[in-house]
Amino acid sequence: MPELPDLEILKEALQSRILARKIQSARALRPGIMKTTSPSLDELIGRAFIGVTRRGKYLIFSLGPALHLVVHLMLAGRFVLCKSGTQITKATGLQITFPDGEDLRLIENGSIKLVKVHVVTDPLEVSGIPSAGVEPLSPEFTVQVLSKMAHGRRCHAKKLLTDQHAIAGIGSAYADEILFAARMSPVRYVNTLSGDELERLHDSTVNVLSEAIKEIRSRIGDSLFTDDIRDFLKVYRRTGEPCPVCGAKIAEIRYANTRTYYCPVCQAGGK
């Protein structure tokens, strides 16, 4: 699933390519992709994109003060720009055509289709946006705010980091990296963290996300970002590989449909 660093770079790439471009046509090729009916998708026709922003894991395409296209890419959603004559595949859920013969398409590979598209007069009409927690790279995300989240809360550290109602935009992959950088067990209960540990977790959150954005940006140049770039991460999907700090083998926890990657020595006292 695209997370905050991936979505920030995608936002930048889309801003440089679609702003001020008038829409000739817009259609949903998979009816289930649309989660709203009014305003209709036809309302986009003749309008131009004036802004692309991000809130949590949502991308917000603004076409005016009272018209917005809001997209959640879920697990496998991707945007591509292509010639309008390019064959439309079964993976294509949304097609937006510009007068110059180019399309912006939203594609989703795989048999399970989860991408969500909303057309709204106000992004706050999309339930996941007003309920989203603090943005971890904003000035509002302070050690004090993190301490209040953790106080009296009996949940694992990874659960807190990935709770979109608490902290917006972090998923499983970057939560693992943040906890590795903080030298903290993913199953540590947050209500047991000391002041120093909370400060370390806060700083690791900001640093890991910021460095990931810089790394991805340096790799893609001016191309449209369409895939998650994560081979630079230190523990994510590195089960059995040596820890870059201590050399111990990276371990993996499987629970339900999630996997957690960590260093037993650096983060869990050898457990």
Q: What is the pLDDT of residue 246?
A: 97
Q: Is the model's pLDDT at 20 over the cut of 60? A: yes
pLDDT digit string, tens, across residues 6-15? 999 999 999 9
Torsion angle, alpha carbons of 116, 118, 123, 126, to 10:
-60
Q: What is the pLDDT of residue 55?
A: 98
Taken in order of first residue, the domains within the chain and their CATH numbers are 4-125 (3.20.190.10), 143-268 (1.10.8.50)
Q: Is the model's pLDDT at 226 over the cut of 60? A: no
Name which residue leads in pLDDT, 209 or 75.
209
Average pLDDT, the chain: 95
Judge contact between 262 and 179, C-beta under 8 A: yes
Mean pLDDT of 87-93: 96
Q: For residue 32, name the pLDDT band (cuts at 50, 70, 90).
A: very high
Percent of the chain clearing pLDDT 90 (strictly above): 89
Q: What is the pLDDT of residue 31?
A: 82
Q: Is the model's pLDDT at 227 over the cut of 80? A: no
Q: Is the model's pLDDT at 194 over the cut of 80? A: yes
Mean pLDDT of 184-212: 97
Q: Is the model's pLDDT at 45 over the cut of 60? A: yes
Q: What is the chain's alpha carbon radius of gyration, rounded to the nearest angstrom?
A: 20
- Selection from 200, 189, 178 nearest residue 156 by Cα: 189
Spatial separation of the C-alpha atoms in residues 196 and 219, rounded to whole Å: 34
**Tokens, residue 75:** 């697990």
Q: What is the pLDDT of residue 271?
A: 81
The single residue listed with the structure tokens 């660093």 is 5
pTM of the model: 0.94
**Tokens, residue 194:** 């000391």
- DSSP-derived secondary structure for 161-227: HT-TTTBSS--HHHHHHHHHHTT--TT-BGGG--HHHHHHHHHHHHHHHHHHHHHHHHHHTTSPP-S
